[in-house]
Structure 1
Amino acid sequence: MEEHASKPTRAWVLHPDVKNDRDRREAEVALEEAVSLAAALPHLEVVGSEIVPVRKPEPGTLFGKGKLEELAFRLSQAEVDLVLVDGHVTPVQQRNLEKQWKVKLLDRTGLILEIFSDRARTREGVLQVEMAALSYQRTRLVRAWTHLERQRGGLGFVGGPGETQIEADRRAIDDQLVRLRKQLAKVVKTRELHRASRAKVPFPIVALVGYTNAGKSTLFNRVTGADVFAKDMLFATLDPTMRGVSLPAPQGGTEREIILSDTVGFISNLPTQLVAAFRATLEEVLDADLIVHVRDIASPNSEEQADDVRDILTKLGVKENAPLLEVWNKIDLMEPGAHEAMRTRAAHHDNIFAISAHTGEGVEELLGAISGWFEEEKIAREVVLPFSEGRKRAWLFEEGVVEGETIEEDGYRLEVLWTPRQEKNFREI
């Protein structure tokens, strides 16, 4: 039994490249991310991965007959136990593919839920994952498959007790969802009490957000000295971790105390039900006095990842003009020329900082800026710009100083809240 439990599950990752998909992403990039997701799940050994061109998805099997047979042979030769499909797979498609290939199959949502289950640490995080998983599970129900042991704390998609009658399963799931909602209500109430007591402490909250694997936990550890699980692995952090931090004093003043919060990484095409499930967990971001958006600037997909983060922040209810600093992390992974160019570009913005959380380069400057952000007096101004001054308008939004905007016949009328330094820099554009 022990020998069986220690044997890794052999997994194969497929990215269906659907030609007419409106949300189609660059196939090579999507496959690389999917393999990283698979690597985040314990006891999996990714033995192969490939892009599968799909002209038109087949309703019953997703892939065409010829491709099905070709993949069946390859999976059999590689002795694959689990196929991970980077995309949505309907319950009917899942059942047919599992039957034809004689493997267990997970789609993107199922895989992310499994990872969330492994990473959840707080009671609320566990409950949120279970509720999201049950809602997903209700549409397809768990079938018998025991290649992975349940002891690792999974949800049952990759290992479960076996198939039961559909209606009985649904009733059981519905009953469990009712119980979980009641438990969650108690946990959320307790958390609100904790938050209310913390609100009495006159410390501002700074929330680290960013695409998964951007280096938030590494930065958090460097700043706080905390031993938060930081690894080159997607979804390394699930529940927010909060620590008190003393920031350096600007211009000889007293040290400033803040609460720093490390949150779960975001990811593209995160299923809507997961965003909803983790809204309560990510409410720390909504409560933050300052948001620090950490980006992996060395990634060729940094811009797309940043867009995904902004999109999810908007879905969470974070306002477009919320106070925000942007951190370009991992400059240590860039070539010397690109490294210096990135630092120079960042220096032209008051709210952008090029750093390496790994080596510590630029971190002190960032902390000084966070401290200064809370120290500096902010002045409300009204700025009127003609339509031709689009560059200045973009700069104001990039700096996060716009409180409101009205579009008039001859241009933009903006309400801004900025520091004297930001006003000076604006005038020099």
Structure 2
Amino acid sequence: MKQFVVLFCLATAGCATTQRPAAAERWLLTGARLYVAPDAPPLDNAWVVVSGGKIEAVGSASEAPPTGLRRADACSGGVIMAGFQNSHVHFTDPAFAGAAGRSREELQSPLSQLTTRFGFTTVVDTGSEPANTAALRQRIERGELQGPAILTVGAPLYPENGIPFYLRDLPPALLQQLAQPATADEARAIVRSSFENGANGSKVFVATPQGRGKIRRMSADVASAVVAETHRLGGLVMAHPTDPEGVSAAVQAGVDIIVHTTIDPPKSTWSAELVGQLVARNVSVVPTLQLWGYELAKATVPTDVRERIVADAQRQLAAFSSAGGQVLFGTDAGYMTDLDPTQEYVLMEQAGLTPMQLLASLTTAPASRWSAAERRGRVKPGFDADLVVLAGDPATDVRRFTDVKCTIRAGKELFVRSP
């Protein structure tokens, strides 16, 4: 009879258990303030019980937490919220090369500085060497490295004969590996191969600058084939747009996420019609506003001109957000050597986003976009214990989003700031 009950419960998931994880797996985190979610009021003098990598209970000063639990003293006393997602990173820095065979000591510091140091418990790799990223992800999941969950789109797809001018200095052997499908069938085969090697989605460069004002565009049938095959395999499609025409082409192809605002051509704008199409088709946008100042500074563009160009991108974000579009936080760190995302938060706030909208772009929005809204993005019983503890409240200053005291993933402390 007992065996029948166990089998019935496993089959139906209809029986509760009174067993709890061992005491060592249960611990208590306390905070001056807890943001359960961007759309919920915060709790003051709050606490979270973590059990077996999940959130077991949440409470505030009005109710005492369970007694006899280990207390996470190094991480307590701050502002608690769900772990952050950076929706645009790259693992292309030489520090990550040969990830399968590098020592933990060689990899841990650059991994922490790119991700967990800034509260990121999940990141989206938007284009790196697939086998190397897979090795890095495997070492994290095995516990050999302390790092975030990695979602990856594998290697991007470019237009036929359309490698952007800024990549042409790559070694010839590497350039030959960059996918430039000429037909829809070829594109579908590339997507299938990418998923077989562990990809969670695809990335298309629907338009690429060739220099001297020339832009190469991916054919509509190839872009649509990438989208259809990726969706068939259960993934999302991210698009590098280059210009407003590229944004429109990506929307028409059915992509899920636009990975940049646009600064080409000069005084680039997104029309009300284009913004409306993005919102109506549920296309998310990763603004990467900080990237533009970084790139323009490298090109020695004068400061006042840089500021005007970045302001154009901010207006695109403002129009999209005001229309109800879903914004995902992302920085292009890894390509961009400036890993500190503070300026991104400031620029997004200047574009009109509130601190809670910024928090949504880091938590609930990406969880929803990646079909994970039932397990992460909120500090809620039953959810994964992916948490970040800040030393100050970002509701009073968005720069506090980078004032990370602790980063916790699945109940394990990945980053603890030294006193």
Q: Give the TM-score, by structure 2 length.
A: 0.26
- The structure with the largest alpha-carbon Rg is 1
Q: Give the TM-score, by structure 1 length.
A: 0.26
Higher helix share: 1
Structure scoring higher RCO (CA < 8 A, sep ≥ 6) equals: 2
